[in-house]
Structure 1
């Protein structure tokens, strides 16, 4: 792929930490934006100190996964000098992203109205826990949002407690919506405030789960890997692991029966249609469980691919990065930190005639303070700020 990245001429001021904001600005950096990460002097992003550490580098895996290719500037935004420096950066920036509690940036004189007075074209994106309403000031951690938004209630086994999905979907949902909001604002000419909530964003992801609830007037059930309206649609245990099967049509059901050499299942009154299979899902599972135990997950994957059937092994997070497809598709950016190989995935969107940034390491705390601030401030002011941070 050749050409410049889609956001090559966009400058983003990143006043975020933890996950939702850094995930959003990491996507923007992958798409070519110059992301200036503003961090607290001497401390930086909270995730710099959340282990495990990569070798003996002093860099945490958490921080490295979300801050590749950014430039780090140390500024204490709660001081007049730090706020003034950020204001100078904002004069020529295209986007500012922040995920402090509502009102924090405005309390420092750095709210949307404050910075709009120096740059009316600035897109000011705030990632919050909640939009205006009774929950507005609640601390918005990912699990709190998942609990309130209903996703935990439908995750886990039917006879088990609610579970938090293994991926922090509340944070990632908000970060993704932030990028949608920012790029939409860029397309429409800039100069506006964008607010992206974690809670309302995650509620919007309920989609079909919400529709089913409205129609049945019942809470969506917790089903593990089972689908409420399709069968067989679940994970089956194999000779060496688990295999996910997703049969969504009568045609694929018939093909599955042929592939497993059980054509008799097609003519079984209990399984003739999808509605029949759903009504008799336990009996169907009993028929299939013994079959799937006879082969390994890899053998089932090969068989399913040969027959064009939807199914795949349930991989762990080591196995997934050994997948040749990821390497072939160009979605991994190879980094090496203190002898540790880190094939991080980059933004997976592809554009004709354009490329994405990759292979860029994460910044040391304050690594670019001097060079970045020297672009917008007199040298004596930069020197004074650097001395304050010592």
Structure 2
């Protein structure tokens, strides 16, 4: 993945980014990584809420949260609720290819900048709204990841069987909506443009249930909460080792046979309780009691080596610090370690899509609040209007 952006897939596409927090900025960050020119519109004096969500990176005054989602964008301070701000934004939108916003439904329209308003002077723009919910009883609920996860069923199936429901460690509601937004935007762009695209967090997470939903419909029962255990495969879970946890994913009877050979337990192959996967699921507790002492006797590294030697699916559970020291991460090129912010190295995961005939962007810094206000607006408004806008933000 080279740093040259001349062949980036979305080179030449102009995106107006009226988003903050996570879902919207993640979507526009992906568009920027793919080569789009992303102009981030921020509230004067405040900017994206995540600018004040610490910790900061070095002495940059930029938070790690904000920096992780806004690399390579240009920041413009603009009060969209003001007459001058809305007019300046309209001038920017007249020449844009894409507009992405994640305000509460109806907010942009209240400012005279809704889809119908913008389309009066730019019929071909792709207008994307990221919301919490589609039309229905939940439409006006505050759209936070935690709320979407709770309502969507994803929290109900996460956590230990005898414990409370848990929120996954990644904000999957936000990330899900952001990725669907990119799919919708790019599909519309290359399908001719001129479309309104709405992407909801809640319904997006419901679509991610996939086979979890299928099992629910087939059985008429809620999908079970089983920690790392799989309801229909065994052994398929984590086991504690001498120095951590190891994930085992045995998904077929053939793999089970190889597994028993690798762990030097051929006797398990003769045990009728464990002959088939269905047998192993039925007798899961007995199987786990056989395997737990075995795994505790060796380290993660030793088990990983054994699994790799025998071509078995399994891996140590790594924390995020261990992950970024991983030799594969370093050699695959997914980690961009060229960026320095506030005197500190700030490596970050690149866009993971590898194009045979193009590149994704890297090495781009996040913007200071309003860093590009004058340079961007000077292209579309007169000097008097620009002066008023600049004065209003100071």
Task: Give me the TM-score of the superposition, normalised by structure 1.
Answer: 0.98
Question: 1:78-89 to 2 correspondence within 5 Å?
Answer: 78-89=81-92
Alignment partner of 1:178 out of 169, 178, 181: 181
Alignment partner of 2:321 out of 298, 318, 321: 318
Gapped regions of structure 2 (runs ≥ 5): none
Match of 1:372 in 2: 376
1:332 pairs with 2:328: no
Match of 1:351 in 2: 355
Alignment partner of 1:22 out of 22, 25, 42: 25
Displacement of 1:251 after TM fit?
Answer: 1.4
Output one character per residue of 1:208-241: Cα deviation in whole Å (capped at 9) or x when no partner.
Answer: 1111111111111110000000000000000000
1:52 pairs with 2:55: yes
Question: 1:1-390 to 2 correspondence within 5 Å?
Answer: 1=1, 4-334=7-337, 335-390=339-394
CA distance in 1, matches of 2:335, 2:375: 29
Task: Give me the TM-score of the superposition, normalised by structure 2.
Answer: 0.97
CA distance in 1, matches of 2:99, 2:74: 14
Q: Answer yes or no: is the 8 Å Cα contact 2:60–2:343 preserved in 1.
A: no
Displacement of 1:377 after TM fit?
Answer: 2.0
CA distance in 1, matches of 2:384, 2:360: 37
Displacement of 1:384 after TM fit?
Answer: 2.2
Output one character per residue of 1:284-318: Cα deviation in whole Å (capped at 9) or x when no partner.
Answer: 00111111111111111111111111111100010
User: Which range moves more in the overlay, 342-351 or 239-248?
Assistant: 342-351
CA distance in 2, matches of 1:266, 1:343: 47
CA distance in 1, matches of 2:152, 2:228: 20
Output one character per residue of 1:347-382: Cα deviation in whole Å (capped at 9) or x when no partner.
Answer: 111111100100101000000001111122223322
Q: Answer yes or no: is the 8 Å Cα contact 1:27–1:346 preserved in 2.
A: no
Gapped regions of structure 1 (runs ≥ 5): none
Q: Secondary structure at the match of 2:156?
A: helix
RMSD of aligned residue pairs (Cα, Å): 1.0
Q: Secondary structure at the match of 1:319?
A: helix
Stretches of 4+ moved more than 4 A in 1?
none
Displacement of 1:263 after TM fit?
Answer: 1.0
